A and B are shown apart, each in its own frame.
Chain A
Amino acid sequence: MQGIDLTINGKKVVAEPGMTILQAARKAGIHIPTLCEHPALPVAGACRVCLVEVEKNPKLLTACSSPVAPGMVIHTHSPRVLEARKAVVELILIRHPLDCFSCPSNGKCELQEVAYELGIRDSSFKEEGDTCNSYALEDANPFYVRDMNKCILCGRCIRACDSLARYHAIDFQNRGIKAMVQPPVGRDLEHSDCTFCGQCVQLCPVGALSEKASAGQGRPWELESVKSTCSYCGVGCELNIQVNRKTGRIANVTTDYQSPTGINEGRCCVKGRFAWQYVHSEDRLTRPLIKENGSFREAGWAEALSVIAGRMNAIKEDFGSDAVGFFSSARCTNEENFLLQRLSREVMGTNNVDHCAHL
């Protein structure tokens, strides 16, 4: 394949045919800030933060949606670009509250990062009456919270629903300063096509969407990500368990759309992302229990295991190995299933071992 020769910020770069300016710059290790763009989503070119200057082009171009052409000379941080980019971000900030310290996205907010990068403290365009940020907090469902005051209309959530979840449960409504992302007119989210897979929540660049159970569980920089596999259905989605080591608890579950190992390509469902609180449930068993006179009492491991070993040996002796049976589990790991069938066959001497493969 013939490479395409470009110059970005004075550096010679070879791009592949079909690449956008943004992709070519990223490949060459050159940073261009973005907001509405995400590698897992179709290109929208909505936010204009990635504007770059291309010589012999009268207008600035959005790097995310402009394809490369041979001989392009591109400037990503020229004074003209920086001025325009700053204006774009300040325009977005007109309708974005600056309550970052209490925002769940503090520390992972992409708007915060872009503003910081451009040295913006506040919008110089702000005037009374030109904002529309008096939306009520929407927290009727147990999965995620919508704070539409913080929405920057990048449309990532809409594209996530369309192209990843494949539900098209939400879209833009109204125009101008009243434009907003909503489920169909007359319906709330809980009675829409939304299935609460939460992919929109993860892909929201700001704090307009946030996981309900994660509130107060730890700041992004405090969390350690542990890569694992979902324990619900047979798809086997790769999940990243976000752990707060200070509390020893799970703070969130996320996915990685760029993971080279994830067979789910970052996709997930409501159970994978939101059904993890049982791990820390008060109802968890914490000590072995032995039943005496019809009710349970707590016991130590040594006692519980020796009671089991004694009774199982006695039953085997009196009635033979096949008077004992084992139910293994399609929920447990391979290692555990392997050992249970060995316990049955090798130790107790019976092939009476099965699990609910058929249920």
Chain B
Amino acid sequence: MKGLGETFGSGAMTNDFKSIKEADVLFVVGSNTTETHPVIGSWIKERKADGAKLIVCDPRKIELAKYADVYIRHNSGSDVALVNGMMHVILRDNLHNAAFIDERVENFEALRKVVEEYTPEKTSEITGVPAELIEAAARTYAAGPNSAIFYTMGITQHQSGTDNVRSLANLALLCGMLGRPGTGVNPLRGQNNVQGACDMGALPNVFTGYQKVENADVRSRMSGLWKCGELPAAPGLTLVKMMEAAGTGDLKCLYIMGENPMVTDPDTNHVRHALENLEFLVVQDIFLTETAQLADVVLPAACWAEKEGTYTNTTRTVQRVRKAVEAPGEARSDWEILTDLANRLGAAWEFKSASEVFDAIAACTPSYAGMSHERLDEGPLSWPCPAVDHPGTPNLHVGRFSRPNGKATFVPCEWKEPHEWPDEEFPFLATTGRILYHYHSGSMSRRSAPGEFVRELFIEINPKDAEALHVEEDAMIRVTSRRGSVSGKAKITDRVPPKMVFLPFHFAEAGANVLTAAVIDPDSETPAYKINAVKVETA
């Protein structure tokens, strides 16, 4: 999000789903789309069957690789080099869109200078990919006429995550693949309402609609609308920093709504220590999760099917969520709980329904100003939707970018070695991720039909490594990093390259995140889940 915000002026997915049907080239990088976003995966396969070209880059031989015109199995953590190498070829062969750059992009010379070094030969050395594949990918992408980029956590969950995103943005700008259907840089966001949580200002530095807390005018407008006193001006701590502060005792109280950091956050042992170190922990959730068990007070919340509200999807599209059944026992909607608590803490909130809360959002958020539950009952709306008669905005950056001067900018990046790399003691690289059948900490999916289908942790390992370790299918293996150790059944498959293991992170009793480091991308503070040096043994 940060990478796109800085280059284009807005951090969201640039195009809508319909746009996929107009793409001539689909460039999927660091996204196991058919498992993490299955419906988008089906559209990508459909478009490919209808004649589009497909480029897939992923160290794991994911399902989409099967359909790819160009499949690149690059070394984990070499994304910046790979994309720089592609841009080198595009510039060398004059395949870039000079008119687009001239009219709409700044800082071209700086980009040219950085990518000059990334010859196919040098890129091949860093990425482990044959030079001709890099050339083929570059030529295919540049040829378009409409090329669209899709990426997920395989790009962002690295220490260099923001640079990875910047590089993809550079590539799209270089070839003018923005601002029309069938193009774009499209981060496929993992969670149902991660876009919405960001839009709503559940971030330490911004109010709703990315209005900065440091801006005094914004603060005074907000306090006027909310009829409250002065609002704090200094950006707060991020999630990872809050966890650190809890560990050191600087943070005394944490209020957690609907998250399970004991399973989803990096370095589980550190998380446990941090949460136990707090003076007061409140958890508001639908189950007594691993995190809730550590709380001083637990509040029962209504779940998805039991409440009214809205989610904002990965294409910035706001949609209604509706109550179908009653919440069990005394469980209440989160918005009711929060209103009640705020009033006990001295506020005077008068919300009587989720619809009234939404009206308050629209009042202080320009990009949501034209929306209401009433309008959304007629159908979804994509932001920006600044007025009640505005139809919403499915495609961003048509004609101008959201930066102040209307132009985008190249932010050239150099490839840097990852924070941790396999060595003699820890010769394997472990990467974590989601599988089709489960979702995050598994508190929902494991209590539903998929929980019976995939019951326990499996660890993907290449046949060569399995043979060397004398491991057979379903035998227990143990994976150990500098942080911790976890065991699971071996799944022998060439989906992973040699010297790599893959672990889904949904299983609390065998949590993959005991392996991961709380190493973060310094720009976006995203944990580097995708790279962990480990050793693998029979258990």
B179 within 8 A of A: no
Known: A353-B204, A357-B197, A358-B527. A142 touches B450 (CB 8 A): yes
Cβ < 8 Å to A, chain B residues 366-382: 378-380
A229 contacts B203, C-beta separation under 8 Å: no
Determine how close the nearest CB of chain B comes to the CB of A339; give it in whole angstroms: 4
B354 within 8 A of A: yes
B344 contacts A141, C-beta separation under 8 Å: no
Q: Which residues of chain B come closer than 8 Å to A284, judged between CB atoms?
A: 286-287, 300, 303, 328-329, 331
Known: A284-B328, A291-B296, A325-B255. A277 touches B448 (CB 8 A): yes
A249 within 8 A of B: yes
A234 contacts B299, C-beta separation under 8 Å: no
Known: A248-B326, A285-B300, A336-B338. A233 touches B37 (CB 8 A): yes
Contact indicator per residue, chain A 212-233, by CB within 8 Å of chain B (1) or not (0): 1100000000000011111111
A128 within 8 A of B: no
A270 contacts B437, C-beta separation under 8 Å: yes
Contact indicator per residue, chain B 251-290, by CB within 8 Å of chain A (1) or not (0): 1111111110100110000000000000110100111100
Q: Which residues of chain A come closer than 8 Å to B203, judged between CB atoms?
A: 353-355, 357
Contact indicator per residue, chain A 302-330, by CB within 8 Å of chain B (1) or not (0): 00111111011101000101111111111
Give A231's nearest chain B residue, CB to CB.
Answer: B304
Give B294's nearest chain A residue, CB to CB.
Answer: A291
Give B226's nearest chain A residue, CB to CB.
Answer: A346
Contact indicator per residue, chain B 315-333, by CB within 8 Å of chain A (1) or not (0): 1011111111110111111
A241 contacts B305, C-beta separation under 8 Å: yes
B191 contacts A331, C-beta separation under 8 Å: yes
User: When the two chains form the complex, which single residue of A326, A335, A352 contacts B310, counting CB atoms closer than 8 Å?
Assistant: A335
| A323 to B231 Cα, complex, angstroms | 16
| A233 to B439 Cα, complex, angstroms | 8
Contact indicator per residue, chain B 39-83, by CB within 8 Å of chain A (1) or not (0): 111100110010000000000000000000000000000000000
Interface size bucket, A side? Answer: 35 or more
Determine how close the nearest CB of chain B comes to the CB of A123; give it in whole angstroms: 36
Q: Which residues of chain B come closer than 8 Å to A279, judged between CB atoms?
A: 303-306, 325
Cβ < 8 Å to B, chain A residues 266-292: 267-271, 274-281, 283-291
A285 contacts B37, C-beta separation under 8 Å: no
A237 within 8 A of B: yes
A305 contacts B325, C-beta separation under 8 Å: no
B188 within 8 A of A: yes
Known: A270-B437, A333-B354. A326 touches B342 (CB 8 A): no
Give A197's nearest chain B residue, CB to CB.
Answer: B38
Determine how close the nearest CB of chain B comes to the CB of A348; give it in whole angstroms: 7
Determine how close the nearest CB of chain A comes to the CB of B367; give it in whole angstroms: 12
A326 contacts B255, C-beta separation under 8 Å: yes
Q: Which residues of chain A come closer than 8 Å to B110, judged between CB atoms?
A: none
| A248 to B298 Cα, complex, angstroms | 26
Known: A289-B298, A356-B261. A343 touches B341 (CB 8 A): yes
B264 contacts A340, C-beta separation under 8 Å: no
A68 within 8 A of B: no
Known: A142-B452, A234-B192, A358-B156. A334 touches B311 (CB 8 A): yes
User: When the two chains form the complex, which single residue of A231, A277, A327 contacts B257, counting CB atoms closer than 8 Å?
Assistant: A327
A212 contacts B449, C-beta separation under 8 Å: yes
User: When the two chains form the complex, which single residue of B196, B329, B351, B447 contacts A286, counting CB atoms closer than 8 Å?
Assistant: B329
| A268 to B360 Cα, complex, angstroms | 32
Known: A236-B311, A322-B236, A335-B361. A229 touches B319 (CB 8 A): yes
A229 contacts B311, C-beta separation under 8 Å: yes
Binds A, one of B92-100, B205-213, B484-492: B205-213
B295 contacts A236, C-beta separation under 8 Å: no
| A296 to B283 Cα, complex, angstroms | 13
Known: A284-B287, A331-B191, A358-B157. A341 touches B448 (CB 8 A): no
A149 within 8 A of B: no
B443 within 8 A of A: yes
Given contacts A227-B322, A263-B16, 12 further A-B contacts (CB under 8 A): A141-B453, A229-B192, A231-B444, A236-B313, A278-B448, A287-B329, A306-B344, A331-B192, A334-B199, A336-B333, A346-B347, A347-B345
18 A–B contact pairs at CB < 8 A?
A: A142-B452, A143-B449, A164-B42, A234-B190, A234-B313, A234-B314, A250-B325, A278-B286, A291-B297, A305-B344, A332-B258, A337-B197, A337-B201, A347-B347, A353-B236, A356-B259, A358-B156, A358-B524
B residues adjacent to A (C-beta < 8 A): 1, 16-17, 34, 36-42, 45-46, 49, 156-157, 188-205, 207-208, 213, 223, 226, 228, 231-232, 234-239, 242, 245-246, 250-259, 261, 264-265, 279-280, 282, 285-288, 292, 295-301, 303-307, 309-315, 317-326, 328-335, 337-342, 344-347, 349, 351, 354, 357-358, 360-361, 378-380, 436-437, 439-440, 443-445, 447-450, 452-453, 524-527, 529
List of 3 A-B pairs having minimum Cβ-Cβ separation, nearest first: A286-B329, A236-B313, A333-B309
